[in-house]
Amino acid sequence: MATTDKASPRDRLLDAAAQLFYRDGVSIGVEALCRTAGVSKRSMYQLFDSKDEMLAASLERQIPRYEAQLAAGPQDAGTPRERILYVFERLEEASVDAGYHGCPYLAALVELKDPEHPASVVARAVKERLKAAFRAQAELGGARDPELLARQLLLVFDGASARAGARVEALDDGLATATVSALLDAAGVT
């Protein structure tokens, strides 16, 4: 992702943070961030109190795009089962991209380890919204225990994302959707 001279220093920093944190992890240094963004460290610290705050802002900024990638469309587009499976189909499609490194929100949670870190708070909220979306579809689909199913679906999503991002597991064979189909069958989701 190249930064442009027309973007504000804040936007360039957030773009660089998104790119570098996703590709290299949250331990990337401030100097590398500033160099990639074409912004001085002084300017960075005028815009953000800390690298932690910038990471949180970067993750926050990516939420609409991330959620749009996973959204199954309007409520009237297919059955709840199809809407749930669509999320996993999108995951499988994304996972074959050479630049895929897994879910950025899960990665932040795993790398940071601190549940109170500003970026962990953002990441956890995104994961909770995904679980709530799964739960809503599970309810609409008649699941016997929508909360349990939502937790199971999030577990499969995060596990599949992490394994594909680490290049331990290929998802191009439909493994995630097959696993989710079995869960939906067992839960009675139509």
For the chain, the domains span 9-48, 55-187
Task: Compute the distance between CA of residue 99 and CA of residue 42 in angstroms, rounded to an integer.
Answer: 31
pLDDT of res. 75: 61
3-state secondary structure of 30: helix
pLDDT of res. 71: 83
* Helix orientation angle between 104-112 and 9-24, rounded to the nearest 10 degrees: 80
Please check the confidence at residue 52 and state whether its pLDDT lies above 60: yes
- Nearest one of 162, 33, 50, 47 to 108, comparing CA atoms: 162
- Any idea which fold 9-48 has? Arc Repressor Mutant, subunit A (1.10.10)
Please check the confidence at residue 1 and state whether its pLDDT lies above 90: no
**Matching residue, tokens 């499988």:** 92
Q: What is the mean pLDDT of residues 61-85?
A: 87
- Any idea which fold 55-187 has? Tetracycline Repressor; domain 2 (1.10.357)
Q: Are 86 and 180 in contact (CB under 8 A)?
A: no
